[in-house]
Structure 1
Amino acid sequence: MNIAHCFLAVTLVAGFNFQQKNTPLPVIPEPEKVLSELETQLTSTSPNSQRAFALYSEAAQLLAKRGNYEEANSLFEKSNTLTKYEPDSVIIIEMNLSRANMNKEEGKYTVALQTYLEALTFYQKRRNANAQLWVYSYIIELYRATYNADLALKYIEESEALMANNEVEMRPKAYLLHAKASYFLQFQIDIIDTPYDTTRYHLDNALKLAEEVGDSYLIGLNQNGLSYLLMHNDPSASDQIIRYLDSAKGHMLTNERFRNYTSVLQTLALHYTRSGKPELAVDITFEAIDLSIKNNWTSNLGDLYRLAGEVYYELGQYKKSAEYLNEALGATKKSMAEIHSMELGELTTSNEKALAERKLLEQQTETELAQRRVARNRQALIATAIFSVIILAVAIVSAVLYFRLKRANTSLKTQQGITRKTNAKLKEVVGQKNVLYKELNHRVKNNLTVLSSLIYLQEDGEQNETQKELYQTLRHRIQSMALIHQNLYEFDQGLNVDFQQYLKQLIPEIAAAFGDEKNVTTNINCDSLEVNIDEAIPMAMIINELITNSFKYAFKEIDQGKISLASEVSTDKRIIHYRDNGPGIQDDLEHDQPQRLGMLLIRLMVDQLKGKLTYEGGSNGVYFRIELP
């Protein structure tokens, strides 16, 4: 998707070159071994059989557990084509739950939630309390992953009510207790203000129950959670933290939970960094990064790169720290874009499905009405024939027709009422999808604003002016993208952005960042310029860089600065004219690092939009001409 390419371009502009550390990685078997064993077993199995379904399903679930998501997805698809050969619906539901857990780890929350709710309904009808408890735990974990504390708490309360009214086994109870403990760990400060002792109590109980049932994987999860809690609340417990994390690493490797293994490494590296031993965190951090890149675990790369930036900052290597923070920004924005794209695609598909169902219902109604008209005509013809034979028969037939028509009219009114209700429901569904779309953009905007605030905090405490300027530049780029998402949910324009309105918001923000030292007037004439959602972010980055460069370099020796933006729109071309009255671009531009990076970003964004960038300025000012298809 173009937005994802945009984020990749930001990463390239940061000038980052990843260098793998010479750290020995654990011996992790490749997915090829599982696939090879599956191929061998399939040679002696009918391709269309229950046995083939079982082989594909078991291999897919194993790969999903290991974190080999691409290979697992392929096998899940093959399993789905063979479900008609599996008579036990419980086995199919369990396979779907495994795939839903994988979808959740990949950030496909809507797909995962739909599967969870279908499974929950399935087990509720069968009064299977143990299976319901497993699904409740999965849903709680999903709402934790999406920072929805209220819904997570709701399902915790429902699961506790289920356990109060039914006898349940220890393993699902242990997993539910872990999900509950993780809820308190995640939201103890930001949302529910739970004291440290209460959170520690829940985590200790979860670990104790996991040890009682002998669930190695669950033991590792709770040890990692306890380490994280102690690290932030009791730094003196360093030895206990390291013991927990070393044990958790072993449990994750034993259970082939390689994705969780990287989470334990991340906690350990963070502990070393926060406890004043960043040199011990370097190899651990890059071990986690290596595994994530190798297995395409993109959703956690942003946090790992951010950790690398923090490690190098504590080591005093500020240039490397800035490079990794740039990389973290790119990975985080790419993950947001993918989630945004995925959610938007699902909403669109759901909306199209609703419209198709509505159209089909209308066609069915038309067909039924036509059939009724044909039936009435046939009956009228018979009545006419009978009338010509005998008056009495006509009277009898007329009476019959009367009652039949009465019933038909009653039925028709009923169908019309059903059609009206269906249309109203479909209209409500479409409205809900629009609300969800606006909420999604609102959340993305809020996330970008939070990210901008975090960078500002880092910038505010920075003494190095070069580093401080780098943080300021990053904030401007993030804010320009946040404004795009703000426009998408504040103005009801579907998937298009009114760029005139957007520029009126962007330019004052950039001007405010440079204070009152710049006396600049702006003239914006882009009323005819609209861009779709795929073009919005690259366009925002281009304009942000041009305006920022003008404020930074064009008006140093000018009392009254001027910036003008204008657009021309025709049937096959859009042209944007950008001017300022500064000294223009000088011959030694290649030696001016900030401007060179800004221009590189502008060219990358124009190329991504398949446009053409022309510079025609001189000593009287900058003039850029941007042609877009």
Structure 2
Amino acid sequence: MIFLYLKMNKFFLITLFLISFSGFAQIEVRNGLFLYDEVFVESDDFQSDYLEELEKSLSVIPIDSVLRLQVLNDLGYYYHTRNLKIALGYIEMGLEEARDKNESYWEGKLLVSQGAILLRMEQLDLAEKALTDAISKIPENESWLLYTNLGYVYERKGILGEAFVYASKTLEIGEKYGDTKAVAMAYSDMSNLFWKQGKFDAALSYGLKSLEIFEKRGLKDLDYDFTFHLVGQYMVDLDRPKEAIVYFTKSVEIGERYGFYNNLSDTYIAMANLQAKMGEFSEAQISGLKALRYAELLENEFMIMRSYMSLGKVGNASKDFAKAADYLETSILEATENFGDKFYLSLVYEELSKAYEGQGNFQKSLVASRKSDELRRDVFTAEADKQVAQLQTEMDVAQKENTIMLQEAKLSRQRILQVFYLTLAGVLIIILFLLFRVFLRKKKYSTLLEKKNEEKEFLLKEIHHRVKNNLETISSLLTLQIAKIGDPKFKQIMEDTYTRVQSMGMIHLSLYKEGNLKKVEMKEFFNGLGRFVFDTFDASDRIRFEANMPPIELDVDVAIPIGLIVNELISNSLKYAFPNQKSGQICVQLLEKEGNLYLKVSDDGIGIMEDSTIKGTGFGRELISLLTRQLDGKMTLVNDEGAAFSFEFQLNTAA
């Protein structure tokens, strides 16, 4: 109970109690005190009229009462499970009143609630600011909810390592002050972060540990409900669908009882995905529409976006690709340009690529697939994975050492009067033993890391080798096919394709041979590419090739598109710039200057005439244009004693 003494005369107090509070279950007046029964603290009696009764109480709680600030905070925080805009309105009202009263503590509490609501409204930067502003105003023993929501902000931004740091901070505070809710929340959040990394076994272990603590606490609240949803999702990914249904059903039961629209939308999305996977497409469609209905009631753009994504996945699974594409395109529109959660956005583009492929639109499918890969690379960085793994190890080691130290302290207290010196000697031995074990563990861990790094390098080298071999196989198949083609135009198309595949294969050959698994030395690559293309066109004896440039190394993601551009331009020069067996020269130059890359491919042939007939299919020009845009570059053509193509790429953007 929260008690607040009101300075009012006895007659007015009794009248107020009899007239105003007789119908309010959460707030009463007894002996001159306001009694407020906080929900999910002393009970989980969160009935359908709970928020309505709290709203009514605002009209009779004195404006100068601190209890009014708590009621406004609770209204805002618990309304955010039903309607985000109404919730934000109450919090902003509370913040204004708290600042007028110079109530720093309640200003901090309201800022935490504001951050939680802004987070769910996809205003991640504003949410982060509200939460960081609250840090100095909230006492440490109550700050776990603040750090939990800061972790959510970084999770939604795709910075998983930082998100894990804040989940660890929540756990540390919970264990320090014996707050079981904080501990349960920390394990729930950690399980979600492991799931996003694809570590489903670890996710399930932490999720079940969280549920166990929630159940001992005995209150069915919003976060307990959401953890049921999370564990159900982990069961799905571990291919345990029957168990997943049990957890999803429990989550829906709690969500519908208390009106947790956000959790209901989440769980129906997961159920739609599972039902589609099991071939129950009608049921999956119904679940997806339920998820969308709850998301729209909540006015939560993130949940609306994910609901449309789930409907799109159902469409793909049932091979209704046109409907799937419509849902997924709507999902992207709902996300807007400033959408913060790159993880879920990457999943939408992945499904959209499948929908386009199912419709036979392979170009759109490729663009969507590349967008998905780009977003995933932003989220699943090696640094984030290493940070999470290190924090997990440190946390596990700290907990184990904590347990050992507590056991040793208890043993020491039992024997201290009888064998003081012996106990002291034993403690010293144990400390030395622990230090030795820590040393061995660190040494073992360091050796394991070195071994894993060597294994990763070997696997990456093997991948480049296999990609090179596969591309050579494709080249061989193309060569066999070209030999059987009679149509000159079609044969030319196949030969162009052959040179493009061979160009990519040479990149992976370079990576494999040189031992640098990430970068390609471009001068040597251009010389090799020139020899190959010249041999293909039988032009080595009349056309001279020159790579007039210093050695320069580029990441493979940049080297491949630049290699394809140069391949296209050299091939075009050999086809059209030197008619009638004319002799000449083709030059390639690539330089890095002030953070930019400058590429120039030129020949001293007949040039490109403005009134000349366009030759070829045009695919080569389209490919060059697409690759230039991919590297955020621009192209310039100069006709002067031949043709010269110049490109400028921003190196940081390209990389």
Q: TM-score range by the shorter chain?
A: 0.3 to 0.5
Instruction: Choose between structure 1 and 2 for higher RCO, CA contacts under 8 A separated by at least 6 residues.
Output: 1
| Greater share of residues in helix | 1
TM superposition score normalised by structure 2:
0.42
